[in-house]
Structure 1
């Protein structure tokens, strides 16, 4: 395991606000909408989920190697999708990888570069817009803190700005839920399975990697959940009628520092999964992680859990940090993801 001592503590309150230290810059978690009211459910996203780090030196000047196009899906919507292909595809067969982003979306240079890295590693990578052209509002803290001689009015203005950012993020999350995101994903997967049937066949299925916001949806795809999947008595009734209940929609996946992940999300995983986590991460608390570990072991689901110490939430998304240790952890996490995917 990579730096894999398990996190030893995590918040218990759904609405608890936490702060982390990111490379000498404050990272403030925001209150957000809960997706699972059970105890231990994180109700937050962080600035790392909604802003990009500077690109690594030498990369900033590189043009993305993939292309953006619009796909018409069966809901009637058009979804913007970034597609990055291995340079020798289709001469050399490739596996199909679904890449699900954090809140910065498909136009983020960081996310496009991340997709290009997977393509260079041999994966035909499709990265859909999860947010219908509505990426997360920028919640980055003020670059310059208030000075010691700041006036009362300066303090009030800063507090008002912070409150407005938090409210804006809450409203954004309210617009992007399972009811909107899952139909988009299923529509994109349907088109991908048709247009890139050779890649799906070569890998005997679709692989998936998700970061932050996108991480939770990898777990949902691994559980077989769809926007119209019946549950409880409905599911039992459909089973009695002889209707098929949907299974996992991916062959194997990776969830990197997922956000808004609840107990049900980790209890129902049915496909091989790697969890890349951050120690003491209030956005993916230890009690939820422990519940996932217990369920995966109980149901004998192939899994790997990597917990990285002394790194911020969001560290695995490509980007430059002042701390070389964080940069090294980012590279190590990417290599670990590739090893996991290649093994399945």
Structure 2
């Protein structure tokens, strides 16, 4: 494990850098220095991948707080999102992906995105810049972005999620089915938005869902990386 720098993009990396199978981990709004994100990177690396986790926010990630507090107005999320829109964040994602391809000549690139990061996984998958995508409790993914997806995608969803709602899940599944995409959607009962990256360790149901979501993504990546 070490820290690296990609043309001023601070990056957490984990695993054997000679590995040609890469996972590009695109974080939620709490960023790449959050221990949860780094532990996930280490877990993926332990499964035989080289994992790259960039700072999407130029040092301006949201300080950690429970999702209920964030959603309940404990932070001015609207203003923050206005500073980190598509036009700002996507160039960072594209820059890091460019370095991944240039520096490592990978045979496989999978990307996993949590909450905020899921949108960029879907966009990369839709433009066929990665091989496989995984998203957990996605935020702000437009139907038009899903419409472009035909490559393999696995979705880990929370039963209770004000952002990726039941209607949103159903619409996403309908689009992927229409596209004849290879996809997998699992809904975990008894958990809320954020469970796959920052679930409460004192909640057994949450920890079960978090672990199942992780290993399901690993299995999905392994199958398509053959």
TM-score higher than 0.5 here?
yes
Indicate conservation of the 8 Å contact 1:139/1:169, yes or no. no
Tell whether 2:193 aligns with 1:313.
Answer: yes
Question: How many equivalent pairs are there?
Answer: 222
CA distance in 2: counterparts of 1:343 and 1:324, whole angstroms: 28
The one-character-per-residue Cα deviations of 1:87-135 (angstroms, maximum 9, x if unpaired) are xx53xx4411100111111111111111011001111000011111110
Tell whether 2:197 aligns with 1:267.
Answer: no
Q: What is the 5 A alignment of 1:51-200? A: 66-72=1-7, 78-86=8-16, 90=18, 93-140=19-66, 165-166=74-75, 168-197=76-105, 200=106
Partner SS for 1:284: coil
Partner of 1:293: 173
Indicate conservation of the 8 Å contact 1:215/1:259, yes or no. yes
Indicate conservation of the 8 Å contact 1:208/1:253, yes or no. yes
Q: Pairwise CA RMSD of aligned residues?
A: 2.0
Q: 1:291 to 1:320 in 2, by over 3 A?
A: closer
Partner SS for 1:309: strand
Length-normalised TM-score, structure 2: 0.91
> Higher strand proportion, which one?
2
Structure with max Cα Rg: 1
Partner of 2:209: 329
Partner SS for 2:50: strand
Displacement, 1:319? 5.0
Partner of 1:213: 116
Q: Which has the higher contact order (CA 8 A, sep 6+)?
A: 1
Partner SS for 1:133: coil
Displacement, 1:270? 2.7
- Structure 1 gap segments, 5+ residues each: 1-65, 73-77, 144-161, 225-247
Which deviates more, 99-108 or 317-326?
Answer: 317-326
Partner of 1:251: 131
Indicate conservation of the 8 Å contact 2:160/2:191, yes or no. no
> Higher helix proportion, which one?
2
Q: Find the partner of 1:222 among 119, 125, 142.
A: 125
Q: 1:126 to 1:141 in 2, by over 3 A?
A: closer
Q: 1:69 to 1:306 in 2, by over 3 A?
A: same
Q: 1:252 to 1:322 in 2, by over 3 A?
A: same
- Structure 2 gap segments, 5+ residues each: none
The one-character-per-residue Cα deviations of 1:246-286 (angstroms, maximum 9, x if unpaired) are xx111001010011222223222132101111124211012
Q: 1:175 to 1:122 in 2, by over 3 A?
A: same
Length-normalised TM-score, structure 1: 0.61
